[in-house]
Amino acid sequence: MSDEMRQVERQGAAFREAFARIEAEIGKVIVGHLEVVRETLLCLFCGGHVLLEGVPGLGKTLLVKALARCLDLTFSRIQFTPDLMPADIIGTNVVVEDPGGRRQFQFQRGPLFGQVILADEVNRATPKTQSALLEAMQELTVTVGRSQHALEPPFFVLATQNPIEMEGTYPLPEAQLDRFFFKLKVRYPSRAELGEIVERTTAAAEETLTRVLSGPLVEEHKTLLRAVPIASHVRDHAARLTLMTHPNSPEAPASVRKYVRYGSSPRGTQALVLAGKAVALLAGRFHVSMEDLHRVAYPALRHRLILSFEGEAERIDPDDIIGEILGAARQAETAAREALA
């Protein structure tokens, strides 16, 4: 084995160790939600942002705060309300007076200038305020007037929303939904998990979490993850999965043609490939398989399927459509291999 390969192996082992340590630390305060925790961490190391959806009281905010306590990064919480303005998030220019008595504008940074950002109940703010996040999430910059201000990497937005409270909320526009790397569903705990939650939250002592990673180390792991190779046929499979979400695609399943108005954007393909690389690296492999792509298809694509009127009327779950897409893709791959045999 060459020195270069040994170095890669050491970096991969360090990534897996850091990932496992953060999972263990978060597990001290979060009961269950193992998949949600793991997929949130995948987003962090892929350089994406995550949308957490679930009814109140399931630990969405606690999960974000626990993650922030495990990382040596600056943390900001923004409570979204209908009266919140863009300047309340990004900051604004204020007039200050210098020692000589001259007045000038000075930029006062808002809470968006953090590294781990909790956008709590993001769908309660108006579209104008929601749009203040777009530039920051995509470009890692904030523009105020004619000045552009850079955000410090790593920059990680975790937004929460309540799916059942509709009054006084503003659904996220498709353009903003597409900026989120994953959409994760935080589900209700089981009976055993609920008992454990009550046991922990009614005890006198609070768990102390240890900081595991600094910002530069997170950036190193992100660079390593992007270096994981992916074969051309696996990359083509990611493109096929994305195209199968479009109703006008010849390979689209019947449910897509019937219930989907618009399919995933190219960002869906990017999310599949990047998250697939992370899953492969966690499994100790330095190559991506098709099953790695299927493993992350639900969180990567569910928010990128825009249902038709019929799909909304029949309350179709995008996860059911994605399941049919994956089944059709597996059948197509099997048929292709048998044809070559």
pLDDT at 184: 93
210 shares a domain with 233:
no
74 pLDDT more than 60: yes
Position 3 confidence tier, pLDDT thresholds 50, 70, 90:
low
133 shares a domain with 1:
yes
28 shares a domain with 104:
yes
d(CA 306, CA 318): 9
d(CA 151, CA 330): 42
235 shares a domain with 122:
no
83 shares a domain with 211:
yes
d(CA 92, CA 145): 9
Position 164 confidence tier, pLDDT thresholds 50, 70, 90:
low
d(CA 266, CA 243): 9
316 pLDDT more than 60: yes
How many domains, in total, are found in the chain? Answer: 2
CATH number at residue 249: 1.10.8.80
pLDDT at 341: 65
179 shares a domain with 54:
yes
80 shares a domain with 164:
yes
| 198-254 pLDDT, tens digit each | 887 777 666 788 888 888 999 999 999 998 999 999 999 999 999 999 999 998 999
239 shares a domain with 181:
no
Query: Which range of residues forms the domain containing residue 337?
Result: 229-341
Q: Which of 22, 14, 142 is nearest to 72 (CA)?
A: 22
Q: How far apart are the first and last CA of the chain?
A: 34
201 shares a domain with 283:
no
200 shares a domain with 65:
yes
pTM, two decimals, is 0.90
328 shares a domain with 204:
no
248 shares a domain with 129:
no
